[in-house]
Structure 1
Amino acid sequence: MPYDLKEVAAISGMPGLYRLVKPTRAGVIVEALDEKGTRSVASARNKVSLLHEISIYTQEYDTTVPLAEVFDRIYQKHGAELALTHKSDDRDLTAFMGEILPDYDRNRVYMSDIKKLVQWYHVVSRRLPYQEAAPATTESATAAGDSAPTPEATPEAAESSATPAASEGKAKAPRKKAAKSDDEPAADEALSTAGIIPAATEDTAEGSPEAAVAKPAKKTTRKKTE
């Protein structure tokens, strides 16, 4: 997606948005997405909502639209400078939401969600670069060029080299599809907490009590009796 939201999160009890820096034993080090960029530690008890795991409800009950895609739609229509703010009139905000996502669920997406969406977009568009999506035709041409046999290869060699590549491509396709489905957010994650960053995910054995090496037992010696 044009806006990379994988490391951006909203944290309960902490206003604004934050970039995840590094996990610690106490929680995770975060950097505020504002002018100061202050770093602090979010406790493991805080709920961390990763923006790339958040989506918007649509009128189809089991269908949601990822927040990154919604941000892209806003950029295509309004650019990085959005005139609306979270303090705008409710009627203007409702009309804006209907323009960006005409089929959004009016019963499950509240006005507070729309205001949060607008507020987050202002932060993201000011602090993160907009990346143009790479053309799909270029990737297809590159993939086709990589799989084509060289002119010097004999027909037998070309056939033998193409067969494993084709079978390998067929074997990998289901795995890619499964990974994509795992990344898709569930419907109950729309504009809500998406998960909690576990504490001490990158601690070393030296600093982690659970990973400490057990000390060998002391040897006991017996006195010889005369």
Structure 2
Amino acid sequence: MEFKDIATVSGKPGLYKILKPSRSGVILESLDDKKGKLVVGAAQRVSLLSEISIYTLTEEGASPLKEVMIKIEKEFKGDTGLEGAEKEEYQAFMKHILPEFDEDRVYASDVKKLISWYHIIRKECPEVLEEKPETASKNSKEEKDEDTDKGEE
């Protein structure tokens, strides 16, 4: 499974795997032990996790959710320690993971939902949280390019 195959439905808890489109919408399967199926029509709002970002104060204005979740996995390996946490603890956690996040537009409830989704993904499809080799090789290529540029100065 890939990040683009996971969705959230407005007004419903949890995450869903996209199975296939139907005439009236899309067929989803819950990412939990029940594996319940659900047909979602055009009237309900379905968001792909690959299209969700977290507001930042950077020039781009947002950081993709996938990158944030990969950072959480690298740092915490599933143990975020935020069960039953206070608002300030969620904000501090977010500041630690993404220092440039926009505190005025990212609420504690958003961070709580992020942590909830992270735990669901880690349990049901942990391969999604692994950094892809092409991302790592792209980063190392950029570093080599930077080193080459420095050598030419």
TM norm structure 1: 0.56
Give the structure with the larger strand fraction: 2
Q: How does 1:82-97 map to 2 (within 5 A)?
A: 82-85=80-83, 87-97=84-94
Do structure 1's residue 40 and structure 2's residue 41 form an aligned pair? no
Question: Counterpart of 1:202?
Answer: none
What is the CA-CA distance between 1:103 and the residue it aligns to?
Answer: 0.8
Distance 1:65 1:74 in 2: 13
Q: How does 1:19-58 map to 2 (within 5 A)?
A: 19-58=17-56
- Secondary structure at the aligned position of 1:41 is classed as strand
What is the CA-CA distance between 1:5 and the residue it aligns to?
Answer: 1.3
CA contact 2:10–2:46 (8 Å) conserved in 1? yes
Question: Counterpart of 1:128?
Answer: 125
Question: Counterpart of 2:107?
Answer: 110
Distance 2:119 2:13 in 1: 14
In the alignment, residue 4 of structure 2 is paired with which amino acid? K
What is the CA-CA distance between 1:81 and the residue it aligns to?
Answer: 3.6
Distance 2:12 2:43 in 1: 12
Unpaired stretches in structure 1, ≥5 consecutive residues: 141-226
- Secondary structure at the aligned position of 2:23 is classed as coil
Question: Counterpart of 1:171?
Answer: none
Question: Counterpart of 1:191?
Answer: none
Give the structure with the larger helix fraction: 2
In the alignment, residue 103 of structure 1 is paired with which amino acid? E
Distance 1:114 1:56 in 2: 10
Distance 1:99 1:112 in 2: 17
CA contact 2:70–2:131 (8 Å) conserved in 1? no
In the alignment, residue 120 of structure 1 is paired with which amino acid? W
Question: Counterpart of 1:205?
Answer: none
Q: Map Cα deviations across residues 120-167 of structure 1 (whole Å, 9 max, x no partner).
A: 111111111233421418xx8xxxxxxxxxxxxxxxxxxxxxxxxxxx
TM norm structure 2: 0.80
Distance 1:46 1:70 in 2: 26
Runs of 4+ in 1 over 6 A off after TM superposition: none
Question: Counterpart of 2:72?
Answer: 74
Structure having the higher Rg: 1
Q: Which has the higher contact order (CA 8 A, sep 6+)?
A: 1
Quote the sequence identity (%). Answer: 41
Distance 1:133 1:70 in 2: 14
CA contact 1:17–1:32 (8 Å) conserved in 2? yes
Distance 1:59 1:49 in 2: 23
Question: Counterpart of 2:149?
Answer: none
